[in-house]
Amino acid sequence: MPDFQSILEDIYQKLTNDDDKGEVASYIPELANVDPDAFGIYLQFINGEHYEVGQSQTPISIQSISKVLTLAMAIQMEGLNLWERIDVEPSGNPFNHLSLLEMENGVPRNPLINTGALVVADILVSQLKHPKEEFLQFVRDISNDQTINYDQKVFLSEQATGYRNFAAANLLKTFGNLHNDVDEVLDFYFHQCSISMSCAQLANAFYMFANRGKCIQGKLHLKKKYAKRINAIMLTCGFYDEAGEFAFEVGLPGKSGVGGGIIALLPNEFVISVWSPGLNEKGNSKLGMEALEMFTTQSNLSIF
């Protein structure tokens, strides 16, 4: 059994001394204010053990990581119907996603790109009476932490500058693949992206994906077969145009966000979350990717 605390500390040591920490996302003013040197890891095993290093308890903007959580909530309610409106193929596209959406007649490639997540958001807006409240409660429940909340400043910042998402939602509307009002869906979507969670909270929230649908409290939040399939989607689609690279270098299902967070997991074994705000040119946390590669190499734990 490897000494996981040593591995994490070794990664922390090496990477925090790296001169090139990537570029902090600046397209949302609120994200640009973060400390570029922040770095944290939280490692939670299914058997209950956990390890952490650095700023693993600092809240960060989860951004696109939220797409996995809305997908989980939607699939639990919609089941297979969901796949009539969204595909499950990697986008694998160097060009922007609106082109792809247009060429494929309004069916997003997968639920983890923006256009796909907008359709998922639309489903939740249709299905839930109080979408924002109920989704937040879902996140709190699976994380076993009632303090998790939306960050209003981040929400406003995204809403004021999210022209591309306005474009995407309107384009989905032209294809009949957005059933609710554009503004209502975007209000929900910008909220979900604005949730603040620490590495520790993220690891708790994603525990259920590594544990066949059961959260750390043992409660079933997601059918086993759905957990398995969302893991498959994370592996093939979780890292934008770098999904293949991540599978190749790290070998775990996972999801990144432009806030610099990454969550990854080995089914039946562990969940790991990393945070470092600087992004590489593909939009994933630069040191976060390196940390996970180091971790799977040193621990010899991966799905392949």
The footprint of a copy of itself (CB under 8 A) covers 87-96, 98-99, 102-104, 109-110, 163-164, 166-171, 173-174, 182, 228-229, 231-233, 235-237, 241-245, 247-248, 251, 253, 267, 302-304
User: At closest approach, how far in Å is the CB of 56 from a copy of itself?
Assistant: 26
Looking at beta carbons only, is 59 or 116 nearer to a copy of itself?
116
Catalytic status, residue 27: no
Looking at beta carbons only, is 31 or 200 nearer to a copy of itself?
31
Catalytic status, residue 67: yes
- Torsion from C-alpha of 253, 104, 155, 161, nearest 10 degrees: 130
Token reading at 200? 């520790």
67 closest CA partner among 131, 110, 129: 110
User: At closest approach, how far in Å is the CB of 174 from a copy of itself?
Assistant: 4
Looking at beta carbons only, is 96 or 147 nearer to a copy of itself?
96
Of 240, 255, 271, 286, catalytic: 240
User: At closest approach, how far in Å is the CB of 138 from a copy of itself?
Assistant: 22
Catalytic status, residue 258: yes
Of 53, 154, 258, 274, catalytic: 258
Looking at beta carbons only, is 5 or 176 nearer to a copy of itself?
176
Of 21, 67, 173, 214, catalytic: 67
User: At closest approach, how far in Å is the CB of 85 from a copy of itself?
Assistant: 15
Looking at beta carbons only, is 273 or 296 nearer to a copy of itself?
296
User: At closest approach, how far in Å is the CB of 137 from a copy of itself?
Assistant: 27
Of 56, 61, 64, 276, catalytic: 64
As annotated, the active-site residues are 64, 67, 189, 240, 258
